[in-house]
């Protein structure tokens, strides 16, 4: 390290490496050795894996059935379901099981994930027939022998459990999803907002862009241009924020009133049911419908 001068440390490495190669090369070349070791290891790994799977006790394992698809890889172009047996522990989530399956059995198993705590919105999946966050879903709560995991319905599948989110992002962007006050106080002053008003928009600000709601909505499935519950909720978040002011609110109402806006919602409630952040989406959509009617009636 730093106490040593550089050349010294370098020679040391060279020396030790040279020594290592010398003893080995009597028998085989380093390349051969590496390949042999690789081969041996592969066999070992395989054996370990088999053993791991076999020793798994029926009782404390769960079976996950995972959707597989890859447009490029032969054998995966036809969608299929793969079964994995995963050792169960208390508190295990579906995401834990997926990670285990990937790291132990098949490293090509592909899914998005990051925070493991329901804040990043990466891992909304179709689990046992419902849109849920894998990280937020306790396997024990599913009450079923096998857990079926699929990518979100009504979105293009990129690979395995990964869907294309572009359309969802586009819909979010189309409602001008940013705070844009009519006027702002001077530089070092904050705006005022009543606690009641904050309370009113609170739930709507919790959205983590997971796309579960959009995927669950039959209307959004049929009508690709429908803004969808998340985007409408986003519009609600700003339209109802008293800090933005009346003029902006009027504009926002116009956005959600468009052809494929709020009127498309048929109050099916499935969005509200699947939202992992418990946002009362239908309620917000309905309130915006009334706001729209009100703002139109004003001018009669």
Partner 1 sequence: MSHSYDRGFIEDFGRWREFSAGMWAWIFHKFTGWVLIGYLFTHIAVLSTATASDPAVYTDTLQGLEALVIVRFLEVGLLAVAVFHILNGVRLLFVDLGVGLEAQDRSFYASLVLTGAITVASVPTFVGGVLA
Partner 2 sequence: MAEHYSSFQRGGTRWLLQRVTAVFLIGVLAFHFFLLHFVNHASEITFAGTAVRMSQVGYFATMWLFLVTATFHGVNGVYNALINQGLEGTRKNAVKWLLVLASLLLVAQGTRVAIAMTNLV
Partner 3 sequence: MYEHDVIVVGAGGAGLRAAIAAHEEGADVALVTKLHPVRSHTGAAEGGINAALHEEDSWELHAYDTMKGSDYLADAPAVDTFAQDAPEEVINLEHWGMPFSREEDGTVSQRPFGGLSFARTTYAGAETGHHMLHTMYQQVVKRGIEVYDEWYVTNLAVTDHDDPEDRQCHGVVAYEIATGEIEGFRANDGVILATGGPGQAFDHTTNAIANTGDGAAMAYRAGVPMEDMEMIQFHPTTLPSTGVLISEGVRGEGGILYNDEGERLMFEYGYANNAGELASRDVVARAELTEVNNGRGIEDEYVDLDMRHLGEERIVDRLENILHLAEDFEGVDGLEEPMPVKPGQHYAMGGVECDENGETCIDGLYAAGETACVSLHGANRLGGNALPELLVFGARAGHHAAGKDMKDAEIQTGYSAKSEDGDVEPPVEPGAVGASGEDAAADGAVVDADEVLEHTIERERERVEALMEGDGLNHAEVRSEVQKSMTATVNVFREEEGIKEALRDIRRARERYEDVSVSDPSRTYNTDLIHTIETRNVLDVAEAIALGALARREFRGAHWRAEYQERRDEDWIKHTMLAWNDGTPELYYKPVLLESQWKEYEPKERSY
Please count the CA atoms within 13 angstroms of the CA of 297 that sit on its side-chain side: 6
Answer with the entry of partner 3, partner 1, partner 2, none that 8 interacts with (C-beta below 5 to 8 A by kind).
none
Q: Is 158 in the site for ligand FES (CB under 6 A)?
A: no
Question: Rounded to whole angstroms, how far apart are CA atoms 189 and 187?
Answer: 6
Among 99, 135, 161, 281, indicate the residue that binds ligand FES (CB under 6 A): 135
Q: Does the footprint of partner 1 cover residue 226 (CB under 8 A)?
A: no
Residue 41's alpha-carbon distances to 92, 107, 235, in angstroms, are 30, 17, 56
User: Which of ligand SF4, ligand F3S, partner 2, none is residue 254 near (CB under 5 to 8 Å by kind)?
Assistant: partner 2
Question: Is 211 an interacting residue with respect to ligand SF4 (CB under 6 A)?
Answer: yes
Nearer to partner 1, 93 or 216 (CB): 216
To the nearest whole angstrom, how small is the minimum distance from the Cβ of residue 215 to partner 1? Answer: 9
Counting contacts by CB under 8 A, is residue 92 touching partner 3? yes
Q: How far apart are CA 156 and CA 166, in angstroms?
A: 10
Bridge partners, residue 157, by sequence: 163
Find the DSSP H helices in the chain: 6-25, 30-55, 94-104, 139-142, 166-173, 195-202, 212-216, 218-222, 229-239, 246-257, 270-274, 281-297
Q: By CB under 8 A, is residue 80 in contact with partner 3?
A: no
Q: Is 187 helix (H, G, I), strand (E, B) or coil?
A: coil
Q: Can you tell me which of 264, 277, 284, 289 binds ligand SF4, judged by CB under 6 A?
A: 277
| Residue 10 CA, distance from chain mean position | 46
Could you tell me which stretch among 24-32, 60-68, 80-88, 101-109 binds partner 3 (CB under 8 A)? 101-109
Q: Quick check: 135 and 127 in contact, CB under 8 A?
A: no
Quick check: 133 binds ligand FES (CB under 6 A)?
Answer: yes
d(CA 33, CA 192): 71
Helix (H) / strand (E) element for 162: namely strand 162-163
Residues that bind partner 1 (CB under 8 A): 67, 69, 79, 129-130, 150-157, 163-164, 166-167, 218, 224, 266-270, 272-273, 280, 282-283, 286-287, 289-290
Binding site for ligand FES (CB under 6 A): 113-116, 118-123, 133, 135
Binding region for ligand SF4 (CB under 6 A): 207-213, 229-230, 233, 274-277, 279, 281
């Amino acid at each position: 390290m730093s106490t040593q001068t550089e050349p010294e440390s370098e020679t040391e490495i060279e020396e030790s490496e040279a020594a290592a190669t010398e003893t080995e090369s009597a028998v085989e070349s380093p390349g051969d050795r590496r390949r042999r070791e690789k081969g041996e290891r592969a066999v070992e790994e395989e054996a370990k894996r088999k053993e791991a799977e076999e020793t798994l006790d029926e009782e404390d394992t769960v079976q996950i059935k995972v959707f597989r698809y890859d447009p490029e890889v032969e054998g995966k172009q036809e969608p299929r379901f793969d079964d994995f047996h995963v050792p169960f522990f208390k508190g295990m989530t579906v995401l834990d099981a997926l990670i285990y399956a990937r790291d132990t059995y098949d490293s090509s198993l592909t899914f998005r994930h990051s925070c493991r705590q329901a804040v990043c919105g990466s891992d909304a999946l179709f689990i046992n027939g419902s849109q849920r966050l894998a990280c937020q879903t306790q396997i024990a709560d599913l009450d079923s022998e096998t857990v079926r995991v699929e990518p979100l319905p009504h979105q293009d599948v990129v690979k395995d459990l990964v869907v294309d989110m572009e359309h969802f992002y586009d819909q979010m962007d189309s409602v001008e999803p940013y705070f844009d006050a009519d006027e702002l106080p001077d530089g070092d002053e904050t705006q005022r907002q009543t606690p009641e008003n904050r309370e009113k928009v609170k739930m709507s600000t919790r959205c983590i862009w997971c796309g579960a709601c959009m995927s669950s909505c039959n209307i959004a499935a049929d009508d690709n241009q429908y803004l969808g519950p998340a985007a409408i909720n986003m519009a609600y978040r700003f339209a109802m924020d008293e800090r933005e002011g009346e003029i902006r609110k009027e504009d926002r109402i116009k956005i959600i009133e468009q052809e494929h806006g709020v009127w498309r919602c048929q109050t099916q409630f499935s969005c509200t049911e699947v939202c992992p952040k418990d946002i009362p989406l239908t309620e917000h959509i309905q309130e915006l419908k009334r706001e729209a009617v009100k703002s139109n009636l004003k001018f009669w």
